[in-house]
Amino acid sequence: MSRDMSYSGVMSRRNEIMKRAVGIDYDKFEGIGIAFDYEKMMRETGYTLEEMKRIQGSTGVGNTPLLELRNLTNLARKFSDEGKGARIFIKDEAANPSGSFKARRAANAVYHAKKHGYKGVIAATSGNYGAAVASQAAIHGLKCIIVQECYDSRGVGQPEIIEKARKCEAYGAEVVQLTVGPELFYTFLRLLEETGYFNASLYTPFGIAGVETLGYELSMEVREREGRDPDVVVCTNAGGGNLTGTARGLIKAGADNTLVVGASVNLKGLHMASDEQFNKKSFTTGHTGFGIPFATWPDRSDVPRSAARPLRYMDRYVTVNQGEVFYMTETLAQLEGLERGPAGNTSLAAAFSLAQELDEEKIIIVQETEYTGAGKHIQPQLSFARQNGIEIKFGDPREEIPGKTIILPEHPRLIKAIDLDLNKIRRSYIKNCLEINNINKVSEEDLEFLAVDTKSDIESVSRIIEELNINKL
């Protein structure tokens, strides 16, 4: 009997399809209410740190350079108080085979797929991860399909996404390009079911564990060079895997006092699933349109339980504006001779601001760079923005309105990272946990889980639950 391939039919089988395509029985990690055993999931389905390093090293992934940005540090010190202006370093992940840190995630996922007999891999991504999966699939001799949300209803695609499609195709992947909307997940599920390929999701334990080597590696490098751990590590935050994996690696290195800061581009007011607003943004990743929704409900991803849980590890969350990131991209190229793409430069813009708060002897690390290319360069991005009615000018970036203006700072002293209220984000996450799971009474197990999952404490979680008028068992 033929299967129902309608939208509702495929979506009704999503858990069945996912379980077969990932090879993980997520049910065995579940508790009764909100809680699940996160560490058991990571332990039983991930790999040891040494295994991950070996897997990645066999395909040329990892051991990327750690570079001190002396000229940028000196520039930051010009606008700092006396004795302030931390040393800024950058982990040059563009040196990985596919040009980004996501090669670390892909190396583990594709290795695991081949080990378990899958003939191919599929990933739903408009970003660097698609190129990373395609690259690793080519190395391991597996088929690869990348599903992209690429165009609006007029058939107009963003330069950066089209750039990444070209890179995926260069590695031999089949790229399925879709318009913005719910058909992305439907098409992804249908292809998984039809092909029997492995779901190389960004959010499996394999993928997140792959980034642990990055956090561990940068800690070891700083210790070797400076005799101590970094004081602050800034991670560009979107779906949360970058920050989660890096923080877990730092913990495994014993860097317990290193502060982990998430940084996103401020796209407040733009809806990522809106056809009309899809091309109004100039950044396809590392922005609040992903960062906030995934922080407040990480399990919205393409697996039943996401291994990317940024609130578990985030000490601070800041935003920068689009114009500031464009400005910092040019500054990195012209002061340090490094031409890199926008994702890592989001964290760099934040680090430039945060360094001015810290003492001169402190060390702040931007933990990634990404490759750049025709669609990622500043000029095609700004030209595309103009074509979509965005006004571009110099001035104060604080006055920028996403979807209407891009304001390049008229002076570097105007680059300022803005703090988001982590307690407000924690409250939203807890509220979502209660509502989505239809919880009327919260158990002690749930309280303990929520305290860990929000990097807070049981007292704080209890207070939020009481404010939401939910009883405790």
State phi, psi for 173 to the nearest 5 degrees: -80, 155
Burial of 71 (0-12, 13-18, 19+ CB in 10 A): middle
Ramachandran angles phi, psi of 176, nearest 5°: -100, 115
CA atoms within 13 A on the CB side of 33: 20
- At residue 472 the predicted structure's pLDDT band, cuts being 50, 70 and 90, is low
Give how far the C-alpha of residue 323 lies from the chain's centroid of Cα atoms, to the nearest Å.
Answer: 20
Neighbours of 216 (CB within 10 A): 24
Q: Per-residue pLDDT for 2 more than 80? A: no
Question: How does pLDDT run across 64-81, given as a tens digit for each residue?
Answer: 999 999 999 999 999 999
Residue 227 CB: number of other CB atoms within 10 A?
7
Q: What is the pLDDT of residue 473?
A: 59
Per-residue pLDDT of 311-325, as tens digits, reads: 999 999 999 999 999
Residue 130: phi, psi to the nearest 5? -60, -45
Contacts of 269 (CB under 8 A, 6+ apart): 401, 402, 403
Checking if the pLDDT of 271 tops 90, the result is no
- Cβ pair 258, 230 in contact under 8 A: yes
The pLDDT of residue 181: 76
Percent of the chain with pLDDT over 90: 77
Q: What value does the CA radius of gyration of the chain take, rounded to a whole number of Å? A: 21
d(CA 150, CA 134): 17
Q: What are phi and psi of 90, to 5 degrees?
A: -140, 135
> 176-224: per-residue pLDDT in tens?
998 887 788 889 999 999 999 999 988 999 999 999 999 999 999 999 9
pLDDT score recorded for residue 298:
96
Considering the entire predicted model, what is its pTM? 0.96
Give the percent of the chain with pLDDT over 70: 99
For residue 1, is pLDDT > 60?
no
Q: Residue 387: its pLDDT value, please?
A: 94
Residue 168: the pLDDT is 95
Average pLDDT taken over every residue of the chain: 94
Is the Cα dihedral 14, 19, 24, 27 positive or negative? positive
pLDDT at 91: 98
The CA distance from 390 to 385, in Å, is 5
Instruction: With cut-offs at 50, 70 and 90, classify the pLDDT of residue 266.
Output: very high
Report, as an integer, the average pLDDT of 290-299. 96
| Tokens standing for residue 2 | 């033929």
Burial status of residue 143 (CB atoms within 10 A of its CB: 0-12, 13-18, 19 or more): middle
Tokens of 426: 């924690």
Sign of CA dihedral 38, 41, 46, 47: positive
Sign of the alpha-carbon torsion through 152, 309, 428, 236:
negative
The predicted-structure confidence for 82-140, as pLDDT tens digits, reads as follows 999 999 999 999 999 999 999 999 999 999 999 999 999 999 988 899 999 999 999 99
| Residue 7 clears pLDDT 70, i.e. is over it | yes
- The DSSP bridge partners found for residue 146 are 123, 175
Question: Which pLDDT tens digit goes with each residue over 371-419?
Answer: 998 889 999 999 999 999 999 999 999 999 999 999 999 999 999 999 9
Query: Which pLDDT does position 6 carry in this prediction?
Result: 86
Rounded to 5 degrees, φ, ψ at 226 are -115, -10
Q: Name the nearest CA neighbour of 151 among 173, 171, 126, 172.
A: 126
| Higher per-residue pLDDT: 219 or 32 | 219
Mean pLDDT of 167-172: 95
Q: Give the contacts of 213 (CB within 8 A, at least 6 positions apart).
A: 49, 52, 53, 56, 62, 104, 249
- Give yes or no for a contact between 89 and 69, defined as CB atoms under 8 angstroms apart: yes
pLDDT value at 256 more than 90: yes
